[in-house]
Amino acid sequence: MESGGGYGRELDLAVKVVQMACSLCQRVQEGLVGRKGDQIQSKDDNSPVTVADWGVQATDDAAGLLESVVSAVNGCLIEAPRYGLNGPQRTLGTSEVLDAIRRCNSNGGPEGRYWVLDPVDGTLGFVRGDQYAVALALIEDGEVVLGVLGCPNYPMKKEWLNYHQRYYRLMSKLSPPTSGSWNKGCVMYAQRGTGEAWMQPLVHDCGKFDWKQAARKIQVSSIDDPAFATFCEPVEKANSSHSFTAGLAHSVGLRNQPLRVYSMVKYAAIARGDAEIFMKFARAGYKEKIWDHAAGVLIIHEAGGVVTDAGGHPLDFSKGLYLEGLDRGIIACSGAALHEKIIKAVDASWDSSGL
């Protein structure tokens, strides 16, 4: 990986932090299998939030959850030196962990530099042992300049996508890969304006494993004929219209079955050429949050793809916590030619959609 443009230090740090956060999430996820109970709470919109959400972000008044969060955070920080990071000299107390979480309170906007974090993007996928992501992006003066996506259950090798995740986890436990050949998960990242996006294996000891040497450049698929393209859409119907995307897929001649994936892993799939199209058309009243898209959008752009709203306008990350002013929905494609065909199909189908 080549670092340039003055963000090399920040990118190096961000990748290490996401690597370590993925390790924390994997431990919590393993503990969730078969027993969910107090490990899972609900957000205001009834979507689940787990110990991993709070642990990576490192509120709730429940003593059991709080104790679990503090324990998870300290367990992760002990391993910081293994990732080339400086950990605290002592175990953190409850108040210190809560203070760290409370500092994550920027309202975003068009000025200044701030990090945007989704500690567990795709919490339902996380709970179900399926796909989820740790997403971290750096925004400067309203522009996304760095993006890192940690995908703990998204294998380096595309062939593994043909297997069910639980089967893959079982095989990994029976025959654990060494750190030098780890292929269960991956981390993708990019820097604005470089025209390059990278992927490295998910590792558990960056001190012994040179992740820069293991990184490989990724790029979007060259397929521009909808008949041969694969499109992604959200698994859950709560905040998106599957019926419209299905109708749209039919109208443009998409023949492949849709790839329904939790979280920003959809962006990862397009960035490295596993799929060509991602479409999301939110139901009325739903507002897209910047942390659900920032890292993935940048990685696709630098890998050669295109992401806009349904009117062809770039997504605007300068308006605060939400993507304000979206024209109907979000469309990500592996290239400009395919993107133009999808935009035209949306225009032709929209009036009769009822959205």
User: In the structure, what pLDDT confidence band is assigned to residue 164 with cuts at 50, 70 and 90?
Assistant: very low
pLDDT at 233: 72
pLDDT at 29: 72
Domain identity same for 195 and 282: no
Looking only at the bridges linking them, the beta strands covering 330-333 and 306-309 are antiparallel
Domain identity same for 269 and 338: yes
pLDDT at 242: 62
What is d(CA 24, CA 10) in angstroms, rounded to the nearest whole number?
21
Last residue of a domain, one of 154, 188, 218: 218
What is d(CA 284, CA 138) in angstroms, rounded to the nearest whole number?
29
The DSSP string of 68-129 is HHHHHHHHHHTTGGGGT-PPPSSPPPHHHHHHHHHT------SSSEEEEEEEEESHHHHHTT
What is d(CA 154, CA 152) in angstroms, rounded to the nearest whole number?
6
Asked whether residue 172 carries a pLDDT value surpassing 70, the answer given is no
121 marked as part of a ligand binding site: yes
Q: Which of 83 and 330 is assigned the larger pLDDT? A: 330
pLDDT at 180: 40
> Catalytic pick from 123, 230, 245, 308?
123
Q: Which of 241 and 214 is assigned the larger pLDDT? A: 214
Residue 43 lies in a domain: yes
Euclidean distance between the first and the last CA atom of the chain, given in angstroms as a whole number: 43
Which residue, 70, 342, 331, is CA-closest to 226? Answer: 342
Residue 280 lies in a domain: yes
Q: Which of 5-9, 35-39, 322-326 has the highest mean pLDDT?
A: 322-326
Asked whether residue 201 carries a pLDDT value surpassing 70, the answer given is yes
Domain identity same for 180 and 312: no
Domain identity same for 128 and 268: no
Residue 250 lies in a domain: yes
Domain identity same for 164 and 48: yes
Q: Which of 78 and 27 is assigned the larger pLDDT? A: 78
Asked whether residue 39 carries a pLDDT value surpassing 80, the answer given is no
What is d(CA 38, CA 31) in angstroms, rounded to the nearest whole number?
12
Q: Which residues are within 8 A (CB) of 160 and not within 5 positions of it... i.e. 6 or more apart?
A: 168, 183
Asked whether residue 151 carries a pLDDT value surpassing 90, the answer given is yes
pLDDT at 307: 98
pLDDT at 129: 76
Tell me whether residue 194 is one of the annotated catalytic residues: no
Q: Average pLDDT in the 52-56 region?
A: 54
Last residue of a domain, one of 218, 252, 276: 218
Asked whether residue 85 carries a pLDDT value surpassing 80, the answer given is yes
Q: Average pLDDT in the 273-294 region?
A: 90
Asked whether residue 254 carries a pLDDT value surpassing 80, the answer given is no
Domain identity same for 92 and 63: yes
Structural domain boundaries, residue 103: 8-218
In the chain, what are the helix, strand and coil shares in percent, each to the nearest 5? 40, 20, 45
Residue 347 lies in a domain: yes
292 marked as part of a ligand binding site: yes
Residue 286 lies in a domain: yes
Helix (H) or strand (E) holding 211: helix 211-214
Residue-averaged pLDDT of the chain: 81
> Catalytic pick from 50, 53, 230, 309?
53
What is d(CA 77, CA 24) in angstroms, rounded to the nearest whole number?
9
Q: Which of 129-133, 158-162, 190-194, 203-207 has the highest mean pLDDT?
A: 190-194
Here the CATH number for the domain that contains residue 161 is 3.30.540.10
Count up the domains in the chain and report the number.
Answer: 2
Domain identity same for 197 and 346: no
Last residue of a domain, one of 160, 183, 218: 218
Domain identity same for 236 and 334: yes
pLDDT at 51: 47
Domain identity same for 231 and 214: no
Q: Average pLDDT in the 184-213 region?
A: 84
Domain identity same for 102 and 19: yes
Residue 48 lies in a domain: yes
Tell me whether residue 99 is one of the annotated catalytic residues: no
Here the CATH number for the domain that contains residue 324 is 3.40.190.80
Domain identity same for 264 and 332: yes
Residue 137 lies in a domain: yes
Residue 100 lies in a domain: yes
pLDDT at 9: 93
Q: Which of 105 and 312 is assigned the larger pLDDT? A: 312
pLDDT at 313: 97
Looking only at the bridges linking them, the beta strands covering 231-233 and 277-280 are parallel
pLDDT at 211: 62
pLDDT at 199: 96
Domain identity same for 198 and 262: no
44 marked as part of a ligand binding site: no
Looking only at the bridges linking them, the beta strands covering 113-121 and 40-42 are unpaired
